[in-house]
Structure 1
Amino acid sequence: MLQVVEINYIRHEVNHKGRSYKEVAESVNHDQRTVKKYADLEEFPQKLKQKRKSPVLDAVKPILNSWLEEDLKMKKKFQRTAKRMYTQLVEEHGFKGSARTVRRYVSSRKEELKKEAESAVLPLEAHKGTAQVDFGKAPFKYAGEIIDLPFLVMSFPYSNTFYFQVFPSENTECLLEGLQRIFKRLGSVPKTIRFDNLSPAVKKIHAKGERELTDMFERFVLHYGFEYEFCNPGKGNEKGHVENMVKYSRNNYLLPALSLTDLNELNEQLWEKAEKDWERIHYEKKRKQSELHLESVAKHLVLPEKEFNCARIMTAKADKSGFVHIDSKLYSTSPRFAQKKVFVEVLYDEIRILNENYECIVKHPRLYGNQAKSMVWQPYLKLLAQRPKAIKYSGVYDHLPSEWQAYLKASTEDEQKAALSLLAELMTVATFGQLNEALMTASSNGHPSAEQIRQAFNAQKFNQQLYQDIQTSEEIPKLPEVTRGSSHYDDLFKMEEKS
């Protein structure tokens, strides 16, 4: 086939200069008939590249396509090379073609898949492998009151399915804990997830819609490898599917207000409720949502082997009593850390106080709502048991219940030492309410010892009487009256002889 430059030359020489076909053919070194053909040609239709059939490669293309789609769910270091795919085809499928043919096909197919991924508007439309996330709120009955708690929903637009979990707050730790739980339940990670501009994920929205992410969310995304998208400010309709699922899950599973005693138990039940809902027929596709869900999950990313540590690490300085302020709440450390810096690991449900070697000193349940202070007594009581005189000057004395303040105030130094050791021991298995009750019971007959308090605690723990009457089946002999001298010994021996 002639080049465009040659065709232009032929047409110019023949049609504009009037040269003969023969002359031009000699000058371009082509056949005279070829010159005539291009000089006289009226139309230049687009040349379509013919697709050559390749029976050997065509037979294994579906296999290569499935391998490529599998590998795209993995990190690059875990993806197979074209050479490895060729080897597998030879060993497992008896492939007779060349390695070069496989390399060429793998390269072109990868480019096609890349373009498909870039061109798709994934989360807004119902594409496979995508998800949307948002928080909702619902009322719960807890400790005799009605409280509002947030619940996190992840919905899957392609299949119209969803998961949801209830949390004590909408903070970063709760968001990431919820996402991680759902990934674990799925056994995979959605390829693309759309969010509203949640403050746990977005620190600031800059000009032209660029977002500055929170550090934890950014590291979470890197760990799991999904792509994220955010709605435009004030455009909640851009995540319309998850908003519908928030309303649906609240109306069908969280109303009227549920009685809440254990949040973990409730969340375990919610997995099953959501999955049972998948058995509905899709409103548009007229197929079971569970079937569609499997198709969508097939496009997900592989779940990493290691879980992400959904914890915020920070430093805090303890006050003179050894308390640190975390999110406007007080948590105790240890007396030796009073007015010193400590590391704090903040999880959605727990606060861990760490020393300079990142070793855990003490753990607290994380406080929410009106709770303002959490005290773990063991570190204080163990130290004070060694130095009981220091109790009134430590700041700990003021935090003790009034019953124990009064008892320690009336005790000797040795009694204080024994009582503080007992408290340090029993606080691992009991509350101050139970220990107060034991102290009051033991004090009914006067100022008790630490051992008497222990006995009272054990009796109350095992539902036993503190003091029991001694029962005997034998009659106790009556002893003679005590008199001066040794004659009463003779009387005692006479009694033994009679018996």
Structure 2
Amino acid sequence: MLAMAQIDYIRHEVNRKGDSYASVARRVEVDQRTVKKYADQDEFPVRPPQKRPSPVMDPVKPILDKWIKEDLQGKKKYQRTAKRMYQQLKKFHSFEGSERSVRKYVSRRKKELTEYDQEAALPLESIPGTAQVDFGTAPFDYGGRDIDLPFLVMSFPYSNTFYFQVFPSENTECLLEGLQRMFHYMGGVPKIIRFDNLSPAVKKIYSKGNRELTDTFERFVLHYGFAYEFCNPGKGNEKGHVESMVKYIRNNYLLPACTITDLDLFNKTLWTMAEDDRERLHYKRDIMLTDLYEEEKTNWLFPPGKPFECVRYETCKADKYGFISVDGKQYSTSPRFAKQRVRVCISYDAIMIVNEAQEVIVRHSRLYGIKRKSMVWQPYLELLAKRPRAIKYSSLYNQFPKEWSDYLQNCTEEEQKAALRLLTNLLKNDDFSILNQALVLASEHGHPDVDQIKHCFYTLFHYGERYEKVPAGGNIPQVPDITRGLSHYDAFFREGDEKR
């Protein structure tokens, strides 16, 4: 196609000056039929650019469009990067194109679908042996539930490396537990660590940059000997490296949502992920991140030989049933502590009731999320086994599973004592599941005694399923159902009299 300037010249020479097609064709060096075409043409509409076929990218464009639109429906921090999309195309769709083509397409499509505000960030000085710390969040499938969990990131601006751990909360105990894990795994402590004004570390901010720190955080700093810095309020860009690293980790390791069954085991796999990421060149220097990280280590402090106890102690008053409240969650103690003050040791994953000698009396897994009450049965069962009549006048009666509350209601006092002693001996980890199955199985032919329940429990415990029933139609006589009382004896003697 001729340039617009050439077309304009042809039309001017032929239509205005009256030159022949042939003479103008010689001057422009084109065929005279081309000259005639443009000289006689009436319309010059704007033509859309011709779309060239792309046999590699065209099949995956609908997939990329779907992913981009799905991501744009959620939070920006949960959106996949073009690199991550490229990796998934290769893995799940046998994509043979280049990462550059995917990046180019994703960038263009995102601009077509939305507008982004680019914020400028001030470069921060990178000093070997220093670190920055912050929490991020990512979606997880944890215990069968879709939930957002925080992950703690420690980044090293000089070497552009990091470590991270996932926790159930952003409280003080999780912060200190995460830092301590990293220090001892690394075998060193950064000389200076920069934080945002995290509530687990900062109680209150005063004028002129003064801060009141939480007691546990201050003791943690003294234990490990590092210097701390805090960003000015509202100036998160002052720790821009860790904020960028939070996004990098989420995009490259935590999206799409990871499935977790055991959080501690999952966290152990994250050390290797962080170390494998160092097998690449620094984005500015022509040096491997592994080499820069080794240089970082020479500037660290040596960690103390003894770990810090990442717990806090509180004194709580139990209610009339022996329950205490910690961070809005209810935990059982023992009936003997009802309406008394007890000492509580709180870690990131446990709530422990301790005595004056710091010995653990009752231990709970710490509650997070929607569950609001944790019950450890042993202390209560021991008391109820001695005083079974009290069970009917206690709210604990309603705490039992329905199978057991119905059963106990139909028991005599001696049967209640025996049943409660059985529960005390067999109930482990406060899990009633097998005991419930045993009671239902033992109750198939009426009200069972304790020995029958115990036999069914061990059958289920060792074999995992009930014994096989005898097939119907055999020669075994029908066994009558169990009945309570002496009425069956009366029937027996009446039958004997009739025969005589």
CA change 1:312–1:465 in 2 (3 A) is: closer
In 1, the alpha carbon distance for the partners of 2:143 and 2:351 equals 23
Question: What residue in structure 2 maps to residue 207 of structure 1?
Answer: 207
**Aligned partner letter, 2:357:** N
Q: Residues of 2 paired with 1:146 and 1:125: CA distance?
A: 39
Give the conservation status (yes or no) of the 8 Å contact 1:128–1:295: yes
Paired AA for residue 325 in structure 2:
H
1:417 and 2:428 aligned? no
Q: Are 1:217 and 2:228 counterparts?
A: no
Structure 2 CA distance, aligned partners of 1:418 and 1:315?
A: 36
Secondary structure at the counterpart of residue 344 of structure 1: strand
Task: Report the equivalent of 1:388.
Answer: 388
Matches within 5 A, 1:151-166: 151-166=151-166
Match of 1:48 in 2: none
Question: How much does 1:311 deviate?
Answer: 0.4
Q: What RMSD, in angstroms, separates the aligned Cα atoms of the two structures?
A: 1.7
- What is aligned with 2:407? 407
Structure 1: how far apart are the matches of 2:334 and 2:227? 43
Is the contact made by 1:136 and 1:152 (CA closer than 8 Å) also made in structure 2?
A: yes
Shift of 1:466: 5.8
How many residue pairs are counted as aligned between the two chains? 348
1:301 is paired with a residue whose SS is: coil
Residue 251 of structure 1 deviates from its aligned partner by 0.2
CA contact (8 A) 1:455 1:466 kept: no
Are 2:377 and 2:430, in contact at CA under 8 Å, matched by a contact in 1? no
For the 8 Å contact 1:342–1:356, the answer to whether it is kept is: no
- Corresponding residue for residue 363 of structure 1: 363
Distance 2:359 2:230 in 1: 38
Matches of 1:271 and 1:204, distance apart in 2:
34
Go from structure 1 to structure 2 and tell me whether the alpha carbon gap of 1:165 and 1:469 turns closer, same or farther (over 3 Å shift). Answer: closer
Rounded to whole Å, the distance in 1 between the matches of 2:468 and 2:171 is 55
2: CA distance between counterparts of 1:146 and 1:464? 30
1:239 paired to 2:239: yes
Q: Distance in 1 between matches of 2:418 and 2:385?
A: 7
C-alpha distance after superposition, 1:122-162 (max 9, x if no partner): x9421111000000000011344321000000001111100
Preserved contact between residue 375 and residue 430 of structure 2 (Cα < 8 Å): no
2:345 maps to what in 1? 345
Show the 5 A alignment for 1:239-388. Answer: 239-388=239-388
Alignment correspondent of 2:437:
437
Query: What amino acid does structure 1 have at the position aligned with 2:298?
Result: A
Q: Distance in 2 between matches of 1:338 and 1:469?
A: 48
Say if 1:310 and 1:429 are closer, same or farther in 2 by CA, change over 3 A. Answer: closer
Amino acid at match of 2:132: Q
What residue is the counterpart of 2:447 in the other structure?
Answer: 447
Amino acid of the structure 1 residue aligned with 2:427: M
1:150 is the counterpart of 2:150: yes
> What is the CA distance between 1:433 and its match in structure 2?
2.1
Cα 1:290–1:465 shift into 2, 3 Å:
closer
What is the aligned partner in structure 1 of residue 53 from structure 2? Answer: none
- C-alpha spacing 1:124/1:398, structure 2 compared with 1 (3 Å): same
Shift, 1:355, TM fit: 2.3
CA contact (8 A) 1:188 1:302 kept: yes
Tell me how far apart the structure 1 counterparts of residues 467 and 259 of structure 2 sit (CA, whole Å): 41
CA distance in 2, matches of 1:269, 1:464: 32
- Secondary structure, counterpart of 2:151 in structure 1: strand
SS of the residue 1:139 aligns to: strand
Post-superposition offset of 1:467: 6.3
The alpha-carbon distance between structure 1 residues 241 and 429, as it changes in their structure 2 partners (threshold 3 A), is: closer
Partner SS state of residue 131, structure 1: strand
- Report which stretch shifted further, 314-323 or 459-468: 459-468
Q: What is the SS of the residue equivalent to 2:380?
A: helix
> What TM-score results when the alignment is normalised by the length of structure 1?
0.68
Shift of 1:353: 0.9
TM superposition shift of 1:430: 6.4
More deviation, 452-461/221-230: 452-461
Q: Distance in 1 between matches of 2:187 and 2:252?
A: 26
Structure 1 letter corresponding to 2:394: S
* CA positional deviation for 1:395: 2.9
Shift of 1:463: 2.0
- 3-state SS of paired residue (1:304): coil
1:461 deviates by 1.5
Q: C-alpha separation between the residues in 1 aligned to 2:289 and 2:402?
A: 60
Whether the aligned pair in 2 keeps the contact of 1:333 and 1:362 (CA below 8 Å) is yes
Counterpart residue identity of residue 176, structure 2 = L
Matched, 1:229 2:232: no
Q: Matches of 1:280 and 1:268 in 2, distance apart? A: 22
CA contact (8 A) 2:278 2:288 kept: yes
SS at match of 2:395: coil
Q: Which amino acid aligns with 2:253?
A: Y
| Preserved contact between residue 150 and residue 169 of structure 2 (Cα < 8 Å) | yes
| Distance change in 2, residues 1:197/1:466 (3 Å) | closer
Question: What is the alpha-carbon distance in structure 1 between the residues aligned to residue 449 and residue 286 of structure 2?
Answer: 76
What is the aligned-residue identity percentage?
63
Q: Give the 3-state SS of the residue equivalent to 2:421 in structure 1.
A: helix
Distance 2:465 2:180 in 1: 50
In structure 2, how many angstroms separate the alpha carbons of the residues matched to 1:285 and 1:416? 76
Q: TM-score, normalised by structure 2?
A: 0.68
Partner of 2:183: 183
Deviation at 1:171, TM superposition (A): 0.5
Deviation at 1:382, TM superposition (A): 1.4
1:66-81 to structure 2, matched below 5 A, reads none
Alpha-carbon distance in structure 2 between the residues aligned to 1:240 and 1:464: 55
